[in-house]
Amino acid sequence: MTAIFLKKLLLLVLAVISCLAAIFFSPIAFAHPLASIINKKEILRDSKKNHRPRMIFVGGSGALVGIDGTLVEKNLPYYPVNMGINAGFSTHFLLDLIKSDIKAGDVIVLTPEISALASYSYKSDKPNRKWCFAVNRDYALKNLYKLPAQFPDLTLDLLGLCQWKALGLVQAALLRRAPFKKGYLQFDQQINRFGDARENFFKPISIDMIRKIDVLWPSSNRIDTSFITDFNDFTSFVTSKGATLYFVFSPFSKEGYSKNFTKIQEIISLLKKSAKFPIIGSQDGFIYDYSCFTNSPYHLKADCRSDRTVKMVSEIKPYLLNAQTPEGRPVN
């Protein structure tokens, strides 16, 4: 009797593991805003099929909702790819994520929130770990989990992924949508072909609420200067691929800029002193009133996003004037 029970238990365990494995390896996107990183990776991969060089933007949510790819494409002979996502993924993770897809002729535009540089870290926020694992499991295992001590955390994150994938299948059935669309479902994540998110991607809040969350950075905290080493190492990698890297400042609130001026200038000084890549423009060129933001001092409304994009393009353009596209056509 005991042997029969153990066999049935073993079969049940194997069945559960098989089901979880089938769900985990299923290429379905999830009904969760952070899961847009999976769609972004697909957009980046698909963009390699274009015969034009690409301009790949890397940053936090300030890039996600702060760049108008249509305006970039209209004014520059590059195909824009917006890899901006929640800053909690960490810039280090995003750099590692795009490495395998960089090709000759690409222009990489680093535009992380300057506050992210003030507290730069290799690790992604806990809520983002499972999404990091979904698109780059090697990075996640090396950088986000201290095994075997964090094996329970890894197990819970894997179960969380399976939960959202199963939910994706259910939603596809309820909405009567084809379960696969270029391999992934985007549902209502509101991201266009360039990877730009719409203004209403984040639920808007009042100006008073934005003012409350636009806090003063602790002046006692020392800046983690390791971002310079990472950025310089990444620049060497980009150059070896025949691509180019630039740094452009992200949007920032006028009041936040004033409150954190000393630390911001410290970071900018460090960038200009140590960076092995061009620092384009200045932070004070991308300062906006609270009326320009939706729900944080980084997320621009549509009209201000257009303004920011036009300024950014005009500042990048001179750096490209001496370059030529693969077709031999000068940038103009």
d(CA 115, CA 221): 12
Residue 78 · residue 54 · CB < 8 Å: yes
- Average pLDDT of the chain is 85
pLDDT score for 30: 61
d(CA 43, CA 174): 26
pLDDT score for 8: 59
pLDDT score for 202: 83
- Cα–Cα separations (whole angstroms), residue 304 to 21, 85, 122, 190, 256: 44, 19, 31, 18, 17
Q: Which two tokens stand for residue 88?
A: 């909690």
pLDDT score for 225: 85
d(CA 144, CA 71): 36
What residues contact 88, with CB distance under 8 A and at least 6 apart? 124, 125, 127, 128
With a cut of 50, which residues of the chain have pLDDT below it? 183-185, 187, 325-332
d(CA 279, CA 271): 8
pLDDT score for 164: 82
pLDDT score for 319: 93
d(CA 148, CA 152): 9
pLDDT score for 50: 81
d(CA 138, CA 221): 31
Burial class (CB in 10 A: 0-12, 13-18, 19+), 100: exposed
pLDDT score for 176: 63
pLDDT score for 200: 81
Burial string for 161-186 (b: 16+ CB within 10 Å, else e) reads bbebbbebeebbeeeeeeeeeeebbb
In DSSP notation, 190-237 reads -B-TTSPBPGGGS----HHHHHHHSPPPPTTSPP-THHHHHHHHHHHH
pLDDT score for 16: 62
pLDDT score for 222: 74
Nearest-CA neighbor of 186 among 67, 39, 10? Answer: 39
pLDDT score for 62: 93
pLDDT tens per residue, range 14-67: 766 666 666 666 666 566 778 888 888 989 998 988 888 999 999 999 999 999
pLDDT score for 328: 37
Domains of the chain: 2-320 (3.40.50)
